[in-house]
C-alpha cells in the first residue's frame, strides 16, 4: 500500500529542506541536544508517517521492540495527563533510533538560539513553510488522521484500524470517542 504516497512524503520532506536550507544554516542545533525530543508534547504525526514508523518498529529485535512499545504506552499515558515526556525513540546518547524516517514534526523544528529549556527561535518564513508542508502531508494522507505520535501508533497497533487504513478506507465513527478525547484530526476535514 501507499508506495507512491511514501515516495511523495519523502519528496515533501526534501522540498522543505531545500526551501529552508538558507535559514537552517544559522541553526544552533547540534547532534545530541534533543531538547525537542524530551519536550515531546508537540510531536504530532499523520497516519502515513505512523505506518512507516510502525513497520520499522516491527523489524526491531527484542528486547528493543518491547522497550519501545512500553515507552510509547508511557508517552500516551503522560500525554493524557498533560505531562511532557521523553520520546520513546530517543536513545540514551540522545540520538534518534528512527532518525532516517522521523516524522515531519521532528524535521522542521530548529532554533537559531540555544533553547536551554525555552521555546525554539525559528525564522517566521520557515515556520510558515512548515505549516504549509504539514497541510500538504495531511492532504496526501487524506484517508488518515493526525495526532500525537503515541496516539497514532496506539491506533495503528489495533489490527482492525491498521487493516482498514492500509486498504485506503477510513471510518472515523469507529474511533470517534478516542479521537474526540485525544484531539485526533481527520485529515480530509482539516481546512486548507
Give the SS3 label for residue 158. Answer: coil
Q: In this chain, which stretch among 89-97, 114-122, 137-145, 167-175 interacts with ligand SF4, using CB under 6 A?
A: 89-97
Distance of CA 95 to the CA centre of its chain: 16
Residue whose C-alpha cell reads 500525554 in the numeric block: 79
- Please give the distance of CA 4 from its chain centroid, rounded to a whole number: 19
130 is an interface residue for ligand SF4 by CB under 6 A: no
Q: Which set of grid coordinates corresponds to residue 119?
A: 521555546
Residue 102 CB, nearest distance to ligand SF4 (Å)?
4
- Residues with Cβ within 8 Å of 75's Cβ and at least 6 positions away in sequence, in order, are 40, 85, 87, 88, 148, 149, 150
Q: Which of residues 43-72 bind ligand SF4 (CB under 6 A)?
A: 43
Task: Choose the stretch contacting ligand SF4; rule: CB under 6 A; options: 10-18, 37-45, 57-65, 182-190.
Answer: 37-45
Q: CB-wise, 33 or 186, nearer to ligand SF4?
A: 33
**Least spacing, CB of residue 89 vs ligand SF4, in Å:** 4
Q: Which of 9, 12, 20, 40 is in the footprint of ligand SF4 by CB under 6 A?
A: 40
Cell of 54: 510502525
Q: How far apart, in Å, do the first and last CA atoms of the chain sit?
A: 25
Q: Identify the residue among 87, 137, 152, 175 touching ligand SF4 (CB under 6 A).
A: 87
Does 96 bind ligand SF4 (CB under 6 A)? Our answer is: yes
> Is residue 76 at the binding interface for ligand SF4, with CB under 6 A as the rule?
no
Amino acid at each position: 500500500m501507499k508506495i507512491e504516497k511514501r515516495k511523495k512524503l519523502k519528496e515533501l520532506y526534501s522540498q522543505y529542506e531545500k526551501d529552508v536550507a538558507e535559514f537552517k544554516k544559522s541553526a544552533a542545533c547540534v547532534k545530541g541536544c534533543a531538547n525537542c525530543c524530551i519536550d515531546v508534547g508537540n510531536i504530532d504525526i499523520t497516519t502515513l508517517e505512523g505506518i512507516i514508523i510502525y513497520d520499522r518498529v516491527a523489524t526491531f529485535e527484542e528486547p528493543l521492540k518491547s522497550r519501545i512499545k512500553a515507552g510509547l504506552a508511557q508517552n500516551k499515558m503522560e500525554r493524557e495527563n498533560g505531562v511532557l515526556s521523553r520520546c520513546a525513540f530517543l536513545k540514551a546518547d540522545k540520538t534518534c533510533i528512527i532518525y532516517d524516517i522521523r516524522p515531519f514534526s521532528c524535521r522542521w523544528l530548529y532554533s537559531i538560539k540555544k533553547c536551554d529549556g525555552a521555546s525554539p527561535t525559528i525564522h517566521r518564513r520557515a515556520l510558515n513553510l512548515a505549516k504549509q508542508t504539514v497541510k500538504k502531508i495531511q492532504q496526501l494522507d487524506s484517508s488518515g488522521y493526525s495526532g500525537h505520535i503515541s496516539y497514532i501508533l496506539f491506533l495503528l497497533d489495533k489490527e482492525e484500524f491498521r487493516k482498514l487504513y492500509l486498504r485506503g478506507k477510513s471510518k472515523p465513527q469507529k474511533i470517534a470517542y478516542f479521537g474526540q478525547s485525544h484531539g485526533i484530526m481527520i485529515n480530509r476535514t482539516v481546512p486548507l
